[in-house]
Amino acid sequence: MTYPFTAFGWENKPKQETYLIKNATVWTNEADGILENTDVLVEAGKIKKVGKDLKARGAIEIDGTGKHLTSGIIDEHSHIAINRGVNEGTQYSSAEVRIGDVVNSDDINIYRQLAGGVTTAQLLHGSANPIGGQAALIKFRWGATPEQMKFENADGFIKFALGENVKQSNWGDNYRNRFPQTRMGVEQVYEDHFTRAREYEAARKADPINTRRDLEMDCLLEILNKERFVTCHSYVQSEINMLMKVAENHGFVLNTFTHILEGYKVADKMAKHGAGGSSFSDWWAYKSEVLDAIPYNGALMHSQGVTVAFNSDDAEMARRLNQEAAKAVMYGGLSEEEAWKFVTLNPAKLLHIDDRVGSVKAGKDADIVLWSTNPLAVYARAEKTFVDGVLYYDLEQEAAKRAAVQTERARLIQKMLDAKIGGEATQPVRNNKQHLYHCGHLELGSFMD
């Protein structure tokens, strides 16, 4: 028995321990900046103390000499760990659906991303609809159940989307009659829904008994009442401007624009509005609306005072977000410290969890990573990844783990061969190609079982 029931699951789930990481280069993400030869004490799931020559009796000591200690990477835009569909793309507003209902705790990508230093991810609905579904925020507590992975008391978010995907530009000829089919139609989706949400609010206030409760409207109302926040897939400047104006008309701030590849064109407006930008570092030209993307986007937005994050939107890239952060140094000349915040403190701010994570500061959650070298280097490897002071990934153990997986595989294969010889019926090996979701993934044939 392992938890979860896959390779690299735990036979015995790891526990919170007291750790003392000694003599590392600590990237605090605070006013202290990057501190050399510094110790970090982890206790009861929190960062207890950051300082020089710390002592703690009974602590497990980890030698950090020559290594770098940072807070864990936070991926603002992820589609891993989701079961059976990332898009409810059959209606143009699916605000009633919740990624939180379909979190897949048993996805091996969680483990792989721990190995890349990621500790928290926002799991998003895809970009099939102008109004998508409610997001889920999870910590990578590998082995836990879906509910146990959820980031406690976090603000609720919802996915919006603009551009080609939501007006079904590339869905094929069978998909031409869903409203909206134009960008101006997309704007009206929001105007219409927010107007209806206010009407719904009034109706429910006036007559709570007889007014039908509508989960979709409930969610939209949360946005208007600043109880839920929007992360919006967006590319071209016109639609970015449009949505900020719509938000202002309805009295709320658009929290985050994601992808935001033309953000550099409207960065000043974004900063004034208060919107953040969670972007790719350097993706470009994969469809018409991203032709004007440039890798300096992040740095330019940052220079205007926009809170900028780099995200993955991809199961594979999420394993090397540390390298993505480095591109902010390469393109735009940010300092290493500022670049590192693109994958740590800034996404924490965008997600409103910077009071708990995103920097190495006493009192915050012990979601930290010990790197073999400067985390921005391509040579860097995560050696130890902690979530809530639990060592969920340890490079030292990795070789033994892989050997154990091999041994177990060999044992079971032998057992199956014996079974066949013994006359047991066999079946051909099933090839379970895992679905790696991305924004545009649609189960168009509908998922039937």
Partner 1 sequence: MKKLITSLTCVWFAISVFAQPTFPQNGTADHREGLYAFINATIHTSYKQTLENATLVIREGKIEAVGVSVVVPKGAIVVNLDGKHIYPSFIDLYNQYGLEKAKAVGSRSRMQPQMLSNKAGAFLWNEALKPEFSAAADFKVDNKSAEGLRKYGFGGVLTHQQDGINRGTGAFTLLSNTKEHSAILKAEAGQFFSFSKGVSTQSYPSSLMGSIALLRQTYLDADWYKRSGYKQTKNLSLEAWNKNAALPQFFRVRDRLEILRADKIAKEFGVNYIYLGNGDEYMRLDAIRQTGAALVIPVDFPAAFDVQDPFDALQADLADMKHWELAPTNPAQLAKANIEFAFTLDGLKNKSDYLKNIKKAIKHGLSEEDALKAMTFTPAKLAGVINEVGTIEAGKIANFIVTSDGLFEEGMVIHHNWVKGQPNVLKALNTKDLRGTYVLNYNGRSDTLTVSGGLEKLKFSLKIDDSTTLKVKHRFNNDLISLSFNHENGITALSGTLVTENMAGRGTLADGTWIDWSATHIKGYEAIEK
Which residues make up the interface to partner 1 (CB under 8 A)? 1-2, 4-7, 83-91, 94, 96-99, 101-102, 104-106, 125, 133, 145-147, 172, 174-175, 177-178, 209-210, 212-215, 405, 408-409, 412-413, 415-417, 419-420, 424-432, 442-449
Is residue 297 a contact partner of residue 303, using CB atoms and an 8 Å limit? no
Closest CB 441 distance from partner 1, rounded Å: 10
Nearer CB in complex with partner 1: 206/209: 209
For residue 226, the 8-state DSSP code is T
Distance CA 161, CA 94 (A): 12
Closest CB 393 distance from partner 1, rounded Å: 18
Give strand pairing partners of 260: none
Is residue 73 a contact partner of residue 386, using CB atoms and an 8 Å limit? no
Give SS3 for 185. helix
Residue 110 dihedral angles phi and psi, to the nearest 5°: -60, -50
Closest CB 321 distance from partner 1, rounded Å: 26
Nearer CB in complex with partner 1: 184/417: 417
Closest CB 201 distance from partner 1, rounded Å: 17
Nearer CB in complex with partner 1: 361/438: 438
Distance CA 402, CA 280 (A): 32
CA distance to 115, 236, 284, 296, 304, per residue, from 265 (Å): 36, 9, 15, 11, 11
CA distance to 97, 196, 220, 223, per residue, from 206 (Å): 27, 15, 19, 21
Nearer CB in complex with partner 1: 52/420: 420
Give strand pairing partners of 233: 161, 258
Q: What tokens were used for 222?
A: 């949360």
Nearer CB in complex with partner 1: 12/446: 446
Nearer CB in complex with partner 1: 282/398: 398
Distance CA 129, CA 161 (A): 6
First to last CA, the chain: 28
Distance CA 317, CA 327 (A): 13
Nearer CB in complex with partner 1: 341/441: 441
Closest CB 27 distance from partner 1, rounded Å: 36
Closest CB 416 distance from partner 1, rounded Å: 4
Closest CB 128 distance from partner 1, rounded Å: 9
Nearer CB in complex with partner 1: 54/108: 108
Closest CB 74 distance from partner 1, rounded Å: 23
Q: Where are the beta strands (DSSP E) in 57-215?
A: 60-63, 68-71, 73-78, 118-123, 131-134, 136-139, 156-161
Closest CB 347 distance from partner 1, rounded Å: 23
Nearer CB in complex with partner 1: 178/381: 178
Is residue 48 a contact partner of residue 16, using CB atoms and an 8 Å limit? no
The four Cα atoms 67, 330, 295, 75 give a dihedral, to 10 degrees, of 10
The sign of the dihedral angle between the CA atoms of 54, 59, 63, 67 is negative
Which run of H or E residues covers position 299? helix 297-303
Closest CB 149 distance from partner 1, rounded Å: 12
Nearer CB in complex with partner 1: 178/250: 178
